[in-house]
Structure formats: C-alpha cells, structure tokens
Structure 1
Amino acid sequence: MNSRRKILLVHGIPDVNGEDTLKLVVKTLSDHLNMPDLSVADVSRCHRMGSIKSGKQRAILLKFKQLSLRNQVWYDKTKLKGTGITLSEFLTRDRHAIFMEARQRFGVSKCWTKDGSIFVVQSNGSRRRIVAKSELDSIPCGSDVQRPAPSAVVASSAAAPPKSRPAALPAQVNRSRRIVKK
C-alpha cells in the first residue's frame, strides 16, 4: 500500500472520445472542491482504468506528486455529494475484497478506508481496524442481522447440502479469547 499512498480513483466522469483525461479531472475537481490552486503540474500520472464497455464509465487513476495535496482532495470529497462523482482509495485486490465484504455486512455508513486501512464501526460503537478477512469474520454483526447459533449451523449442515445455507451467513464459531501469561 505504500506505493499507492498518493493515488486516488475518481469515479463518475463520463468517457469522451479524444479527451484529455488529466485536464478534465483537474478542472472537475478544482471546480467542485473549490480548489483553484489545483493544477495539471500537481499530478504525476492520470489515466483511465480498464477496458471500454458500453454503458459503463471507467474509473480514472490520479497520482499526485505530493501526499499533502492528495490528502486535501481526499478530505474535501464530501463537497462532491450530489454531483455523481466519487473518490476512492486505490486498494490492493485483497483489501478491496475485504472492504466490499465489510460494506455488505455492516453497511456503507459503518465502513470506510483511510490511508489504505479498513475501518468498521462495531455494534458497541467502537471503531476497529481490519487487516485480514479472518478479523472481519470475528466481528459480530449488530442486532439488525440475525445469525444462527453455532450449534444450529452445525446441525443444519449435517442434514442439508452446503448450498442451502445462505451465502451472507457464513458458519462462525464464537470462541473465548486466549489469555497469555507473561
């Protein structure tokens, strides 16, 4: 993630044939974020990602020369509400998969990324940093999501094929934490 620190992905800017992507993104962000000092010289790399598909807008990778400017744009992203343009961090494939799973389990408003790390608000209101999928599995969902008891999952898996179990409710065994003596 260290090599991706200065990179943001810009979503929602329509593809135009023969566009100058760099100028288009800089103008769009400077207008919407009220940053007149943002210029083409502040960006070291800018290009569309992926292949062209009809009806789909491709994300734009935007790498800044200075981390401070990238952070200023990142923290001003709330000014983009209602414009159809969104910003996201350029996560690795594994971290992106964990982040999308967290959003599905806990909701969009309770999951976010910051500097490549994934954060989740737990049911007790505390924040937790997630690094691996196993950590995500160890967080209990809030009272709005009903998970079956571990014994019910084991009993139902013996009686029925595994495909009958819902995909959103993985089998989870709650274990007490081990206390390490020093």
Structure 2
Amino acid sequence: MDDAALKEAITRILKDDVFVDIIRDQVRAAVDSAVAARDEEIEALKEELAETRAQLNGLEQYSRRLCLDVSGIPETPNEDTDRLVMDTARLAGVDVSKADIDRSHRVGAVKPGRPRTLLVRFVSYAKREAFYGARRQLRQPRSFEGSTVTTAVASKVFVTDNLTRENQHILYRARQFRKEGKLFAAWSDVGKLKVRLRENGPTTVIRTMTDLQKLVNSAAERRKPQAPTETDGDGFRRVTRGNKSSAK
C-alpha cells in the first residue's frame, strides 16, 4: 500500500463514527481513572495532614497540663500575680505557696473595663488539680484577712483548663451545639474535650472539629423519623379499604 492509499485509509477510519466513539470512550476512561487515582491520593494526603495536625495539637495541649486559666480578677498596675493566685486558691480552701507556682502572668490583649486572664503554671500536677478541683468553692469563698482578692471578686472568678487555640475553638462550637439542643453537655478535662449527647449517655472524647461534626450529624440522623412501613405498630399488615360503592 502506497502512502496515498494509507493516508486515505486513515482518513476514512478517523471519519468513522464508531471508531471515534471507541477512541473517545477509551480516552475518557483513561482520564477518569487518572483523576480518580489523583483524587484518592489527595484525599489520603488530606487525612494524613489532619491527623498530623491533631497530633501536634494534642502534644501542645499536653504541654499545658500543669497550667490553668484564672479569669475575672481585676487587673492593677505592678500587681503580684503569684499573690493573686495564692489568695484566690486560699479563698477556695486550697493552700498554694510561691514554691508551688512555676510562673504566672496575664495573657491576651488589654481591653478597657475587662481584666485579662491570668495564666498560672504549677510546679506539680497534684497542686494544679487541687486548685482546679476546688474551683466551685469560689462561689462561697472563705474570707481571710489580708487577701488581695475580695470575696465579692472571688465569687465571680472562673478557673478553667488552659486550652490551645484549636481546642478553644472546638469547645466553643460544642457549646453552641449544646445551646441548640444537639448535645447535652460539653466540657474539658485536663485538656481533653468531652461531650455527651444525652443526660445518661456515654461520654465521647473529641480530638478534632471533624470528630465533633460527625458525632452531631450521626445523632441527627438517628433522630430522623422512620418512614412508615407496611405494618401497623402492633405488627399487623395494614389493610387498604376499597370504595364501598365498588363493592359487590
């Protein structure tokens, strides 16, 4: 076959609708396969990145296990933050000395009329837990002479876990869900975020915002009303009654 005949044959083939459809389908299948493989790879990388972020957040939170946030104490120039912590703890019935405190200082931006949170890092976990465990006693503080924190102030003080920014965001969202009636409770326990869907339900530890969203979504799915079945509530099959006028 000479070149002219070969070109003519190729031209006829390329103009053949069946051949074009075959080539198009093969190209589409190859492209779809390549895209699917790339999508799977991207999804795997996203999951790996999310897991890495969760692990880093967990490590950062663990590094704060000796820390507490104390909010609601008025801020004054040249204040002794260690003394404020010690006096607040004593008002809650816990003896904390300077030797128990690694460091303490205010955190956050200065806002008029609103004292900044006081961050305290304890030397031992036991002392940290003693103060945290007695935090509710501040609603009825035990006054003593020479305290730099008044009982009126102490009754409005909150002692909470020192959370990472990510965990603060997750807990804030969880508490929004609680207000919306989608969760029964949400709280932090030594940096671990925990939620409960029902009053007597199990406690679930939340690591990421995705964990929280999945839990709420799954609960919402379970609450959806079931589609009517062919049986009544007593287990008997429903009977469809015909029009009386058609009955013989």
Q: Which of 107, 111, 123 is the matching residue for 1:65?
A: 123
> 1 or 2 for the larger relative contact order (CA 8 Å, sep ≥6)?
1
The structure that has the greater radius of gyration is 2
Q: Which of 2, 5, 9 is the matching residue for 2:69?
A: 9
SS in 2 for 1:10: strand
Identity of aligned residues (%): 30
Report the CA distance between 1:18 and its aligned residue: 1.7
Residue equivalent to 1:39: 97
Structure 2, unaligned runs of 5 or more: 1-60, 141-154, 225-248
Residue equivalent to 2:48: none
SS in 1 for 2:210: helix
Runs of 4+ more than 4 Å apart: none
Q: How do 1:154-173 and structure 2 match up within 5 A?
A: none
Structure 1, unaligned runs of 5 or more: 150-182
- Alpha-carbon RMSD across the aligned residues, in angstroms, is 2.3
Q: Which of 187, 191, 215 is the matching residue for 1:112?
A: 187
**What is the letter of the counterpart of residue 34 of structure 1?**
G
Deviation digits for residues 24-79 of structure 1 (CA, Å, limit 9, x no counterpart): 2211221x2112x3111110100001232111110000000001110111111111
Partners of 2:105 and 2:119 within 8 A in 1:
yes
TM-score between both structures, scaled by the size of structure 2: 0.53
SS in 2 for 1:88: strand
Distance in 2, matches of 1:25 and 1:68, equals 16
1:80 aligns with 2:80: no
TM-score between both structures, scaled by the size of structure 1: 0.72
1:134 aligns with 2:210: yes
**What is the letter of the counterpart of residue 95 of structure 1?**
N
* Higher share of residues assigned helix: 2
Count the aligned residue pairs.
143
Report the CA distance between 1:130 and its aligned residue: 0.5
Report the CA distance between 1:94 and its aligned residue: 0.8
